[in-house]
Structure 1
Amino acid sequence: MAISKRKDGKWLVNIKPGGRVGKQIKRVFNTEREAKQFVIWANGQALQDPDWAPIKKDTRRLSKLIERWFELHGCKLRDGKKRLGKLKMMCLSLGDPIASQFKAFHFSEYRAQRLKDGISDNTVNHEHAHLRSVFNELRRLGEWNEENPLESVKALKLQEQEMGELNSEQIQILMNSLDSAENKHVKLIATVCLSTGARWGEAESLNVSQVKDGLILFANETKSRKARGIPISEELEKALKAHHKKHGEGAKLFGPAYSAFRRALERAAIPMKQGQASHVLRHTFASEFMRRGGNILVLQRALGHQSLAMTMRYAHMAPDHLIEVRTLNPMAER
């Protein structure tokens, strides 16, 4: 108990009720009894009032926060394990700092180095979003009480990438190349993608139960995790069911075939936009759908886009795109 008698006969209280790192209080009393009563009262206040309690520093390193994020939230995400691996690699490159000392400029320096190393702007933006979400989610769950250090960091502006697509002649060349493939699944998977706008992973992971009544129900590997039913021709439905009887693996319609598709693309020697590969099938479906007069809202549902802004990239391909401008502008009747 830090109570001492001064030379003038009064009693000095010099205490830290909240502990070693709590705030210091000095008071002078006329009697020792008053001084002791104050100490008892101050210690009681420290137990009840957070302002009196010591500020506990969060000394966890970034790697521990990432692990905690995965335990509480990431393990429930479809790509949780994959994202965990990427976050751990980022943490290693950042030097696994104490999280409470990690600041925006630390990430900015990391990002600048990644760009110098030739990593794409889009990849760096994904890293930024993943790490920022770790802090946001832990704050929401009450596991992180400080500010998100990446809240003020803006994502890099991306130049919209030109989308590749196949014309009728190129589709035929590709189909001929797929005919010569050893993989028995690859051509039919590509046909599903061109017929429905599905992503390769969505088509490749189909079960036979998802094909019925003239529809394919995409549900397992959808990016938005929302199911969508896409009408298909009677001919394609019969082909899928016949393929399952002959080549199916349990409930699965197909086996792995992506590598076989890439090899077929190389044999076909079709010029491709960098990084698009099987995605060209999805772009081709969407572009042709709009050229033939398809509705942009229907296309949004078919592609499974959560935002219409994503689908609007194809709007200019409609034959009547902005045609009303000719007649609905203020100079049209002059």
Structure 2
Amino acid sequence: MSVRNTKDGSDKPWLCECYPNGREGKRIRKKFATKGEATAFELYTMKKVDEKPWLGEKVDNRKLSELIKRWYELHGQQLAQPETRLRKLQLTCNGMGDPVASKITINDFANYRQMRLDGEIEDFQGKKTKVKPNTINHEHAYLNAVFSELKRLGEWTHPNPLEGLPQFKIEDTELAYLYPEEIPIVLDECRNAEYEHLVTIVMVCLATGCRWSEAENLKGSQIAHNRITFVKTKGKKNRTVPIAQELANMLPRVRGPLFRPCRRSFERAIKRTGLIFPEGQMTHILRHTFASHFMMNGGNILVLKQVLGHSDIKDTMRYAHFAPDHLDDAITKNPIAELLCGS
């Protein structure tokens, strides 16, 4: 395709000659008085063919990496840990070969997740490591959220390629918690740790059900009138939990950060106790301990939801079975209840 001056002496010496559908397609030729008119016609003709109105909207040839970048600009950077989420999405994108997003199919992601399970895809450190189904489910949810959010914002008009693909079913993990006789053992070892405030952090977790990071990152401004206000939480909502005067007296009286990072000190203290915790619950067991004992002592499940800062009651219902009268009807309303009671 080209625009050229024929120099034929006519009043329309500028010729536009183009092949909108390639050299094998139909040729279009038209003459104009000026070069500008010929160039404009060429652009108009090629654009009309490129749009293909009979096929619907223009084909979206953006790659998955471009969509992830756009999602991050419009939404992702507002999340609690934006850089971490972005890196995980980029890992998925690279593992899938950064395909054209509009051409991704359910089968493409299904193949990707199987390769992740088999350890055929490099992780952040460039190592090929097998991952657990739960990790795959998180990656599935993250990528699904990218398409859903862009669709909501009007940035994506195609169907969500992951729609209809179920996540792996994961067995409920063991909700380990400290028994009443184990709590003093843990606290004693924490008192003997190299960091003087380790026991205070542990007691804050046990008394409020907060996450380890929420307690470890406390500042003086978050403590007032025997109440702790947790900020920058996982659910992005502040929550305030009352504490006993005795615990309030243990907290350092400073305006800035109250503690220094000491997770390793806690792990060493637990190792000295000889207690064995389920994998991945080293510090989270303190949160489980609060919630479990709260319900065993007759606490209200809705109050527990507020204290823990759960956005979905389903997360809190994991602790419902600790209530003293949970499913007690199973004892009196089973088909052999009278037989058992009469024996």
Q: TM-score range by the shorter chain?
A: 0.7 to 0.9
**3-state SS of the aligned residue for 1:244?**
coil
**3-state SS of the aligned residue for 1:282?**
helix
Aligned length: 293
Q: Which residue of 1 aligns with 2:166?
A: 154
Work out whether 1:126 is the aligned partner of 2:138: yes
Q: Which residue of 2 aligns with 1:208?
A: 220
- Do 1:212 and 1:237's aligned partners in 2 also have CA atoms closer than 8 Å? no
Return the alpha-carbon distance in structure 1 between the equivalents of residues 148 and 317 of structure 2: 30
Q: CA deviation at 1:169?
A: 2.5
- Do 2:52 and 2:58's aligned partners in 1 also have CA atoms closer than 8 Å? no
- Do 2:305 and 2:313's aligned partners in 1 also have CA atoms closer than 8 Å? yes
Q: Which residue of 2 aligns with 1:139?
A: 151
Give the aligned residue type for 2:172: E
Q: Within 5 A, what are the aligned runs for 1:9-158?
A: 20=21, 51=53, 56-117=58-119, 118-158=130-170
Give the aligned residue type for 1:213: H
Return the alpha-carbon distance in structure 2 between the equivalents of residues 125 and 84 of structure 1: 16
Give the aligned residue type for 2:182: Q
Work out whether 1:317 is the aligned partner of 2:317: no
Unaligned runs of 5+ in 1: 1-18, 26-42
Give the aligned residue type for 2:243: I
Give the aligned residue type for 1:234: Q
Percent sequence identity is 45
Return the alpha-carbon distance in structure 2 between the equivalents of residues 140 and 233 of structure 1: 46
Cα distance, 1:272–1:332 mapped onto 2, change above 3 Å? closer
Q: Which residue of 2 aligns with 1:254?
A: 259
Match of 2:244 among 199, 213, 233: 233
Give the aligned residue type for 2:293: E
- Do 2:204 and 2:215's aligned partners in 1 also have CA atoms closer than 8 Å? yes
Give the aligned residue type for 1:179: R
Q: Which residue of 2 aligns with 1:199?
A: 211
Q: Greater CA deviation, 127-136 or 254-263?
A: 254-263
**3-state SS of the aligned residue for 1:168?**
coil
Cα distance, 1:211–1:80 mapped onto 2, change above 3 Å? same
Q: Which residue of 2 aligns with 1:223?
A: 234
Return the alpha-carbon distance in structure 2 between the equivalents of residues 198 and 95 of structure 1: 40
Q: CA deviation at 1:191?
A: 0.7
Q: Which residue of 2 aligns with 1:189?
A: 201
Q: Let me know the Cα RMSD of the aligned residues.
A: 3.2
Q: CA deviation at 1:53?
A: 8.4
Cα distance, 1:271–1:332 mapped onto 2, change above 3 Å? closer
Q: CA deviation at 1:150?
A: 0.7
Q: Greater CA deviation, 304-313 or 274-283?
A: 304-313
Q: Greater CA deviation, 194-203 or 116-125?
A: 116-125
Return the alpha-carbon distance in structure 1 between the equivalents of residues 58 and 137 of structure 2: 33
Q: Normalization by structure 2: what TM-score?
A: 0.77
Q: CA deviation at 1:258?
A: 1.5
Q: Which residue of 2 aligns with 1:277?
A: 282
Q: CA deviation at 1:206?
A: 1.5
Q: CA deviation at 1:52?
A: 5.5
**3-state SS of the aligned residue for 2:181?**
helix
